A and B are shown apart, each in its own frame.
Chain A
Amino acid sequence: MAAIFQGIGAAAALPSTEKFHSQSRRFVSGSLFVVRSDGRPSLGSSPRSRGAQHLITNAVAAKADASATSTASKPGHELLLFEALREGLEEEMDRDPRVCVMGEDVGHYGGSYKVTKGLATKYGDLRVLDTPIAENSFTGMGIGAAMTGLRPIIEGMNMGFLLLAFNQISNNCGMLHYTSGGQFKIPVVIRGPGGVGRQLGAEHSQRLESYFQSIPGIQMVACSTPYNAKGLMKAAIRSENPVILFEHVLLYNLKERIPDEEYVLSLEEAEMVRPGEHVTILTYSRMRYHVMQAAKTLVNKGYDPEVIDIRSLKPFDLYTIGNSVKKTHRVLIVEECMRTGGIGASLTAAITENFIDYLDAPIVCLSSQDVPTPYAGTLEEWTVVQPAQIVTAVEQLCQ
């Protein structure tokens, strides 16, 4: 039975004898109908009581300060994630003439994922620069340009190719501000798609966040929705630190309605996707969608997971994460990185160090298998975390 409720007044219209099965319901975002974990409806309670149990079935986060209703009321505009990235990029290029883009096929071709489409005709070939296939040197070139005050955005056609530029990113990008005693700032943004796609093969399915995370001096963020993609892109460009923006190959065609007015997100903040009581699930990028899919099943089974998209991979937003841990006392990390030395491993260590007293159970970290990503579809599915595994993990964690 699907029912759509608008506002709390409608809840009173329900006959009290009707039993609510834990079936999936479709709710408009921002609706205020509250279902408790034991299946009984809670009529008349205000939305902010008892930890604000909003059920949001679409994966878009509503911002905590009630702008969920304001985006619903303002028209906004709908677009795909790569268009959101482009919009953010274009706004920043309009705003600051020092912002420029360099990468393979970003100019005339428009970008292999269309993120820079149309920008070369608008801003010229020097500002949207087509480079030869030489990651090491064009990354170095971008960093050298940044030393003088330009703000380049360096695109890796696939994040995996940036391994060739590791020396430049680690030694020059990350460390120059320190070794020069603060003389040079490197305000670059290094961005590109990474992650496991659809049978792209081992070398084109790499997750570089685990390799870069140790480099001191850089910031890492991962976008997951059109809303945060645009906001993070703008924030990364405006940041004086070097920022690596991780996009995901499979998320480029996500559609969402985003606000018309200009907005910039904070690079260091995590996003509360779904508040809950029982368990904190920390995730980022594509795994957020697997988690939300698992969350539907979990809610039907009576669990109330709190889902946080950590967004900031370096540094971790331990404030948001900590508050969540203090509430739920159980943590599950779901990531696409490899098990060994991944973001999840660091996050586990960080949470354990800081919040050990609040944990009722050991932290569970679900990551990809420590294998090169195989080509065969079935095998590839088994390398990444699937929703069913998330459900099982939560059930085991909450015993």
Chain B
Amino acid sequence: MALSTSFRSNLIKPLTALTALSSTQHLRRPFSSSVDDSTALTIETSVPFVGHKCEPPSRNVETTSKELLGFFHDMALMRRMEIASDSLYKSKLIRGFCHLYDGQEAVAVGMEAAITKKDCIITAYRDHCIYLGRGGTLVECFSELMGRQAGCSKGKGGSMHFYKKDSGFYGGHGIVGAQVPLGCGLAFAQKYSKDETVTFAMYGDGAANQGQLFEALNMAALLDLPAIFVCENNHYGMGTAEWRAAKSPSYYKRGDYVPGLKVDGMDAFAVKQACRFAKEHALKNGPIILEMDTYRYHGHSMSDPGSTYRTRDEISGVRQERDPIERIRKLILSHELSTEAELKNIEKKIRSEVDDAIAQAKESSMPDPSELFTNVYVKGFGIEVAGADRKEVRGVLP
């Protein structure tokens, strides 16, 4: 079908900008394996931003070599964690639903680089890497995935319910689109308390067709809430391609009266620039939509092979042309901040870090049976709860 082939070829746009790196302060330094290096650099994003009712920010992103190396490390860690979760799922240590984020790491990492922990992030069920980016540890991740006590939600939430209140990560939600009004609420509270912080309410191209999204956009625009709506457009809503689900694929324009920006979500620096721009905008002018053009290598979840609605060529094509980690690797090498061997070393360390975390998580115990009844209410009433046969009292609701 003509429509689908042109659609597919759009996903594999070559990265033209790598050959045209413009660095105004390009310092030729011998490679340094010290991560404390803070040489200033300017990187050009892969493609220019496209704005809707707003002036898009510049393509040139200020960064430091430390940040560049940090991006590589963080994304490689996220990638390894997701791959490890894949094998854990296949060995039935992780059950239920498991939605993997590999391919989309640039969004999580770029966003973190532009904001503070006081800003709030709320997302849907593809939340493992964002949790990691917000300061979660690998052990907490794997323990939660395996349903152990050491998990971030004490094993009671699972893959779709990662939360970290002290770093402003509000989850972790299973119902498509329901997190967007919650995000509006977070922004409302920020405006109420005059915090000068913003909320990033993330959703996917599938959720972009939910009515509550438009309700939330209306309210956020009406009340001038510091809410940034981030559409992670990986072009497939579960098993349905975006052109089959949405009449208008320009998710950044869907806000109508709300300005929008289309961003290459596979380029961590573009994401960083866009988020920084969005934060400034939201604090002054109210909501803005960011559409992150990204891609997921895995299927929708572990029960979806991911190849029935797209070709393997497409997946490998994107991996070859637009992989976010490869992009950073090439940048590091071309700026001579490190060598191939060094980077491989980092990846090897990450691999063993992840393996250690998995081993530690496996040792963590399953939650105590009494945990079934904890945290149902904040304050309990001493209600007795009984087992299924109602004959013996199992515990008291705390």
Contact = CB atoms under 8 A, between A and B. Distances in A.
Is B truly associated with A?
A: yes
Interface of A: 100, 126-127, 129, 131-132, 134, 136-150, 167-168, 171-172, 176-185, 187, 216-217, 219, 239-241, 268, 315, 353
B184 A141 contact: yes
Contact of B376 (A168, A177, A240): A177
A143 B185 contact: yes
Given A126-B223, A148-B120, A315-B381, 7 more contacts: A137-B181, A140-B182, A148-B193, A168-B181, A179-B158, A180-B172, A183-B153
Given A138-B219, A182-B375, A144 B184 contact: yes
Contact of B173 (A172, A181, A216): A172
Contacts of A353: 390
A172 B182 contact: yes
9 contacts: A131-B219, A134-B219, A137-B184, A147-B170, A148-B186, A168-B181, A178-B375, A179-B163, A182-B375
B305 interface: no
B154 A171 contact: no
Most A CB within 10 A of own CB, among B183, B193, B378 = B378
Contacts of B388: none
B154 A182 contact: yes
Contacts of A167: 175, 178
Given A138-B181, A140-B178, A184-B165, A145 B376 contact: no
Contact of A239 (B175, B184, B379): B379
A341 B329 CA distance: 61
B222 A132 contact: yes
B378 A183 contact: no
A216 B192 CA distance: 29
A158 to B, nearest CB: 18
B170 A315 contact: no
Contacts of B157: 179-181
A141 B185 contact: yes
A35 B148 CA distance: 64
A146 to B, nearest CB: 7
A135 B158 CA distance: 28
Interface stretch (B62-70, B73-81, B86-94, B210-218): B210-218
A185 B378 contact: yes
Contacts of A150: 188-189, 192-193
B287 interface: no
B171 interface: yes
A314 to B, nearest CB: 10
B185 A147 contact: yes
B171 A100 contact: no
Contact of B182 (A100, A131, A143, A182): A143
B350 interface: no
A141 B211 CA distance: 14
B32 interface: no
A216 B380 CA distance: 12
Contacts of A134: 212, 215, 218-219
Given A147-B182, A167-B175, A136 B375 contact: no
A145 B192 contact: yes
Interface of B: 120, 122, 151-158, 161, 163-165, 170-175, 178, 180-186, 188-193, 211-212, 215-216, 218-219, 222-223, 374-379, 381, 383, 390
B192 A126 contact: yes
Contacts of A147: 170, 182, 185-186
A353 B387 CA distance: 13
B164 to A, nearest CB: 8
A220 to B, nearest CB: 12
Contacts of A127: 192
Contacts of A183: 153, 163-165
A310 to B, nearest CB: 14
Contacts of B376: 177-178, 216-217
A145 B185 contact: yes
A268 B173 CA distance: 30
B189 A140 contact: no
Contacts of B158: 179
A315 B381 CA distance: 8
Given A181-B153, A219-B377, A144 B211 contact: no
Contact of A172 (B163, B165, B178, B184): B178
Contacts of A126: 191-192, 223
A142 B185 contact: yes
A241 B157 CA distance: 19
A140 B218 contact: no
A171 to B, nearest CB: 6
Contacts of B122: 144
Nearest to A133: B215
Most B CB within 10 A of own CB, among A131, A145, A217 = A145
A149 B166 CA distance: 12
A138 B193 CA distance: 18
B378 A177 contact: yes
A244 to B, nearest CB: 13
Contacts of B153: 179-181, 183
A78 to B, nearest CB: 33
B381 A268 contact: yes
Contact of A181 (B190, B216, B375, B381): B375
Contacts of B377: 177, 217, 219, 241
Contacts of B175: 167, 171
Most B CB within 10 A of own CB, among A180, A184, A187, A240 = A180
Contacts of B192: 100, 126-127, 145, 150
A129 B212 CA distance: 18
